[in-house]
Amino acid sequence: MGSVRWAFRCGSWTPTRAEWLFAARCIQPEEKDRIGQFVFTKDAKSAMAGRLLLRKFVCEKMTLPWSHFRLERSPRGKPYLPTQPQDGPVSPTWSFNLSHQGDFAVLAAQQGCQVGVDIMKTVMPGSSSVPEFFRIMTRQFTPYEWSVIQSAGSEHQQLASFYRHWALKESFIKAIGTGLGFNLQRVEFHLSSEPLTQDPPASLTTMHLDEEEQGDWLFEECLLDEDHHVAVALGPGSPPSPAPLAPPRAFTLLSFSELTSLASPLTDEDPSYWESFSTKAEGPQRRRDGL
């Protein structure tokens, strides 16, 4: 069964004029326009990396030429390919999902099952204390989950546990494609005691849905660095695949040249796109308190 885990560090990517203009030519025009509307370069870079990850995946793993397919979005915003090629009469369908937050964009894909991925960076709340931040977010977790979060130790450790739970919940929501209307208290995670590392991913965390343990869902968890948690949700496909899943695999960190190695332009070069990008600020100003 095919499996892909890719990451791109967009936070430290300082694109040259040539890189940014080439990247803009290699994505669909409406996506280029949407990225151009971002106020900050941090968000534009993350979105651009995400679109390139998606197209690289379809081109490399689904063997479609870069310029011969069009990606669409579901009503809930999940990217998909309207028609998928089949290697044979029983070739399992690929499911893929994307997330970007903090300093990374990540893509997870799997054949024969539902996939959702989410990445969260452990950061200090921007305008409130940690206890106040937790009070505001109370309804997003069950009492059991809050007991685990608040017993984690220091404020930094509590925040890390909070974002770990959040990434797990978001990965599940993204896998089933229901969007923000889903009541997050319906799902409760019981964390694996395995320490989270970059490799290998932990995979013993379990999920309860409406108080029933869901044995047919698997959750892979890892760190991309000490501050970035990634969760991958893998659920039964339709129809369910009879083949067992491969062991969890670590994310491969791609360079820009690797990200665009198969890329080919879809549109003409637009010099004004660089002029607009290069005059923007990296991101909003925020307090720089240490954790």
Angle between the 155-176 and 143-150 helix axes, to the nearest 10 degrees? 140
pLDDT for 195 beyond 50: yes
pLDDT band at 291 (very low <50, low <70, confident <90, very high): very low
Give the model confidence (pLDDT) of 170-180 as tens digits.
Answer: 999 999 987 66
pLDDT score recorded for residue 289: 43
pLDDT at 287 over 60: no
Rounded Cα gap, residues 221 and 192, in angstroms: 9
pLDDT (0 to 100) of residue 238: 67
Q: State pLDDT tens for residues 16-52.
A: 999 999 999 999 999 999 999 999 999 999 999 999 9
Residue 245 — pLDDT band, cuts 50, 70, 90?
Answer: confident
pLDDT in tens, 94-110: 999 999 999 999 999 99
pLDDT of residue 87: 54
Distance CA 286, CA 279 (A): 20
Radius of gyration of the chain (CA): 19
Please count the CA atoms within 13 angstroms of the CA of 44 that sit on its side-chain side.
26
Total-model pTM: 0.92
To the question of domain 3-278 being in CATH 3.40.1180.10, the answer is no
SS (H, E, C) 244-290: CCCCCCCCEEECHHHHCCCCCCCCCCCHHHHHHHHCCCCCCCCCCCC
Six-digit token string for 67:
């310029």
**Looking at the predicted structure, is the pLDDT value of residue 288 above 60?**
no
User: Is the per-residue pLDDT at 78 higher than 90?
Assistant: no
Return the SS3 of 116.
strand
In the chain, the percentage of residues whose pLDDT exceeds 90 is: 78
